[in-house]
Amino acid sequence: MVELIKEISEVNAISGNEHALREYIFKYVGKKDVSVDTMGNIIVFKKGTSKQDKKLMIVTHMDECGLIVTDITDDGFLKFECVGNVELRSLISKKVIIADKVNGVIGMKAIHLQKKEERETVKKAKELFIDIGAKDKKEAQKYVNKGDYISFNTKFSKTQDILKGKGLDRICVAPVLELIKTDPEYDTYFVFTAQKEVGMRGAMICASKINPDFAVILDSVESADMFGCKDNDIQTKLGNGVLIQYADKYSISDRELLSDVIKIANKNQIPYQQAGLIRGFSDAGEVITSYGGVKGVTLSVPVRYTHTPVQIVNRKDVQALFDLTKAILKGKHL
Amino acid sequence: MMELLKKLTQTDGVSGNEKNISNLIYEDAKKYCDEIKTDAMGNLIVHKKGGSKKVMISAHMDEIGIIVSFIDEKGFIRFSNIGGLYTKQLIGRRVRFQNGVVGVIGCEEEEFDKKAEISKLYIDIGAQNRDSAQKLVNIGDMGAFCGEFYQNGDTVVSKALDNRVGCYILLEVMRDIKTDNDLYFVFSSQEEVGLRGAKAATFDISPDYAIAVDVTDTGDCPNAPHNSVKLGGGAAIKVMDRSVLCDASVRSLMIEVAKENNIPYQLEIMADGGTDAGAMHLSRGGVKTGGISVPTRHIHSPSEMVNEKDIKNCISLLKAVLEKL
């Protein structure tokens, strides 16, 4: 699965521009029983092996946060805005790639040229710029257009169980691609959603179209296991297993489904962790309130430095999420 | 003394955990309807069959509370809010968990004085350490605030009058309403965390008209922000709140009906807070939506205060509106 995660991490798929990852997913799953809707969500249908008349939906988003070109200055620098909730403080001097072809670096004034106050404050996106080495506006315009998406240019790497790369917010695309190979107990819709990072927009339309009985939402979650995160806050920890979520910013997991999932995890000895209220959000907020309501639960992989160009996860957590979701797919307990 | 209202307020049902309150309402409502069901979000939908005009009446049955996020080595419980809480007012409050265990909210005094944040508060259940605490309470458990029911004359005080008073009104109206309209009484879930239950239910029912029954702020306390709604001033007819601008035709129908039947009413413009009306009016292609509210003091505290006459006026008004629609 690590190879799969590497490839997904290095495909650029910023919200609204998930085309490249969609192509990658098509190559992986083929075209049979696969559909794409107008928002660009991919829906893969697998017939259930049991005769029960229940529909299960597995949801994971395929988009990542990034930047978009808003203007080109007279001296050939690019101005940009964030797509999704990018951690601004992490941007300065990072390598980027514009429209998948032009290399650039997020620049700022040399430290020698900064006043004392400037050194101590955090820049806003408006004050930052991207340098592609163009000598003026005219030259820059040859390579870059307003509205081009800008991706972080981070190489994936692996050190034992620790995986590092960009776009690991949507790491669950990898386990879901593997999960599609299993024969589920129920009729199952595997959904790769678009535009989650800008407000669950893809999930909004696909859940009401499918109208499932149950939904399992797979996502990443902020890891809180470093100094500065006081011990009374969220307790997500890298390497402690899949996180079974009770509630996030926009959703509360179904209580019965939650206790079923915990039973399955215990029975199969899958490492898991629990947390009260997660500050971030997953597609669950739209999925569970769609149509006449959907019983849903969110499972997630802790990610350090989420929404930045360099993120870190533990392979074992992804494995635990895969094992738990597989046990749910194979079970008759829902 | 309103025994049913007392029972409704004293049964806990924090958002996402409405099973007990839903069961209580179910037992009463099943006697007065043709169809009753719970959907996947936990909404209790009570159907009284009628003609072609579909009207959805929604009162949320969830209440604010807390969710356990962490238990420290000494057995103190850290928590996050479910719904809008006034952090500064939480100290000393009692919290009841679903298994009946009661804890007290304490604070890290010096830190809380510097900055009143929920992370500086904890729940003390008197446990000696983490292990003994975890035998009673676990991460993800939800707790409701305690606040006993009290009535003196027309004055009623309790926790969770937001919005069990709305549930009470729906139950009272359902009992003996006579109309040709097709009525869906919805006891909605997860209103306090963002109108989530009503959003799902409205899509499913697809009504022609929707009415939200909820509580509303009053402006009659010392130095309160400007608001003309008064406790005891009559049923409040909603004009707007943060989530909705009510349909003008529904609003004028309500006023007309109130005048015809000599029901005291006042107009409600609530600057803060939303209601199920917000989710209902935006469903599918839009739904003509109005609201009837009970003037309430000290909303989201364990001692919310309403007036029995206002409740009765809301019941009469809702009944008359449903008959006239």
A228 contact B CB<8A: no
Nearest CA distance, A54 vs chain B (angstrom): 13
Q: Which residues of B are catalytic?
A: 191
Measured CA to CA, the distance from residue A294 to residue A131 in angstroms comes to 47
Measured CA to CA, the distance from residue B156 to residue A304 in angstroms comes to 50
Judged by CB atoms closer than 8 Å, whether chains meet at B79 and A230 is answered as no
B126: left (phi over 0), alpha (psi -120 to 50) or beta: left
Q: Residue with structure tokens 């506006």?
A: A137
Rg of chain B over Cα atoms, rounded to whole angstroms, equals 20
Q: Please compute the mean of the pLDDT values over residues B190-209 and round it to a whole number.
A: 95
Measured CA to CA, the distance from residue B104 to residue B91 in angstroms comes to 8
Six-digit token string for B56: 């959805």
Q: Residue with structure tokens 């902020």?
A: A222
Which of A6-20, A38-52, A163-177, B235-249 is the least confident region? Answer: A38-52
B278 to chain A: which residues are within 8 Å by CB?
Answer: none
Residues in chain B: 325
The kind and range of the H/E element at B254 are helix B248-260
List pLDDT tens digits, range B291-320. Answer: 999 999 999 999 999 999 999 999 999 999
Nearest to A276 among B15, B40, B67 (CB): B67
Interface test with B, best of A233, A234, A257, A289 (most B CBs within 10 A): A289
A246 to chain B: which residues are within 8 Å by CB?
Answer: 67, 139-140
Q: Residue with structure tokens 């009207």?
A: B55
Residue A233 has pLDDT above 70, yes or no: no
CB atoms within 10 A of CB B223: 4
Query: What pLDDT score was predicted for residue A119?
Result: 81
B89: phi then psi, degrees, rounded to nearest 5: -95, 5
Query: What pLDDT score was predicted for residue A232?
Result: 58
Measured CA to CA, the distance from residue A330 to residue A325 in angstroms comes to 9
Query: What pLDDT score was predicted for residue A333?
Result: 64
Six-digit token string for B191: 């209103």
Judged by CB atoms closer than 8 Å, whether chains meet at B39 and A293 is answered as yes
Query: What pLDDT score was predicted for residue A334?
Result: 65
Residues in chain A: 334
3 state SS of B137: coil
Judged by CB atoms closer than 8 Å, whether chains meet at B139 and A276 is answered as yes
Q: Please compute the mean of the pLDDT values over residues B41-62 and round it to a whole number.
A: 96
Residue B211: what residue type? I
Measured CA to CA, the distance from residue B145 to residue B14 in angstroms comes to 9
Question: Which residues have a Cβ under 8 Å from the Cβ of B179 and sit 6 or more positions away?
Answer: B50, B322, B323, B325
Judged by CB atoms closer than 8 Å, whether chains meet at A246 and B72 is answered as no
Residue of chain A nearest B201, judged by CA positions: A292
Measured CA to CA, the distance from residue A150 to residue A125 in angstroms comes to 13
Residue of chain B nearest A288, judged by CA positions: B41
Nearest to A276 among B17, B72, B80 (CB): B80
A294 contact B CB<8A: yes
List pLDDT tens digits, range B54-83. Answer: 999 999 999 999 999 999 999 999 999 999
SS (H, E, C) chain A: CHHHHHHHHHCCCECCCCHHHHHHHHHHHCCCCEEECCCCCEEEEECCCCCCCCEEEEEEECCECEEEEEEECCCCCEEEEEECCCCHHHCCCCEEEECCCEEEEEECCCHHHCCHHHHHCCCCHHHCEEECCCCCHHHHHHHCCCCCEEEECCCCEEECCEEEECCHHHCCHHHHHHHCCCCCCCEEEEEEECCCCCCCHHHHHHHHHHCCCEEEEEEEEECCCCCCCCCCCCCCCCCCCEEEEEECCCCECCHHHHHHHHHHHHHCCCCEEEEEECCCCCCHHHHCCCCCCCEEEEEEEEEECCCCCCEEEEHHHHHHHHHHHHHHHHCCCC
A295 contact B CB<8A: yes
Q: Please compute the mean of the pLDDT values over residues B268-295 and round it to a whole number.
A: 94
Residue B1 has pLDDT above 60, yes or no: no
Please say whether the beta carbons of B51 and B42 come within 8 A: no
CA angle A180-A152-A150, nearest 5°? 100
Please say whether the beta carbons of B288 and B250 come within 8 A: yes
CB atoms within 10 A of CB B175: 13
Query: What does the CA dihedral B10, B14, B15, B19 come to, rounded to 10 degrees?
Result: -70
Q: How confident is the model at residue A88 (pLDDT cuts 50, 70, 90)?
A: confident
Nearest to B41 among A234, A277, A293 (CB): A293
pLDDT mean across residues, chain B: 95
Which of these, A250, A206, A242, lies nearest to A324 by C-alpha position?
Answer: A242
pLDDT mean across residues, chain A: 91
3 state SS of B28: helix
Judged by CB atoms closer than 8 Å, whether chains meet at A289 and B41 is answered as yes
Which of these, B140, B19, B141, lies nearest to A245 by C-alpha position?
Answer: B140
Question: Which residues have a Cβ under 8 Å from the Cβ of A32 and sit 6 or more positions away?
Answer: none
| Residues of B at the A interface, defined by Cβ within 8 angstroms | 15-17, 19, 39-43, 67-70, 72, 78-82, 119, 122, 138-140, 190, 193-194, 196-197, 199-201, 203-204
Judged by CB atoms closer than 8 Å, whether chains meet at A293 and B193 is answered as no
Judged by CB atoms closer than 8 Å, whether chains meet at B69 and A254 is answered as no
Query: What pLDDT score was predicted for residue A279?
Result: 85
Nearest CA distance, B36 vs chain A (angstrom): 14
Which of these, B69, B71, B74, B78, lies nearest to B105 by C-alpha position?
Answer: B78
Q: How confident is the model at residue A100 (pLDDT cuts 50, 70, 90)?
A: very high
List pLDDT tens digits, range B117-168. Answer: 999 999 999 999 999 999 999 999 999 999 999 999 999 999 999 999 999 9
CA angle A160-A164-A165, nearest 5°? 150
A143: phi then psi, degrees, rounded to nearest 5: -110, -25
Query: What pLDDT score was predicted for residue B193?
Result: 95
A211 contact B CB<8A: no
B16 to chain A: which residues are within 8 Å by CB?
Answer: 247, 252-253, 255
Which of these, B136, A252, B111, A230, lies nearest to B123 by C-alpha position?
Answer: B136
Measured CA to CA, the distance from residue A42 to residue A254 in angstroms comes to 25
Query: What pLDDT score was predicted for residue A111?
Result: 81
Which of these, B92, B151, B157, lies nearest to B123 by C-alpha position?
Answer: B92
Beta bridge partners of B96: B102, B144
How many angstroms separate the Cα of B255 from the Cα of each of B157, B211, B258, B263, B278?
28, 14, 5, 9, 20
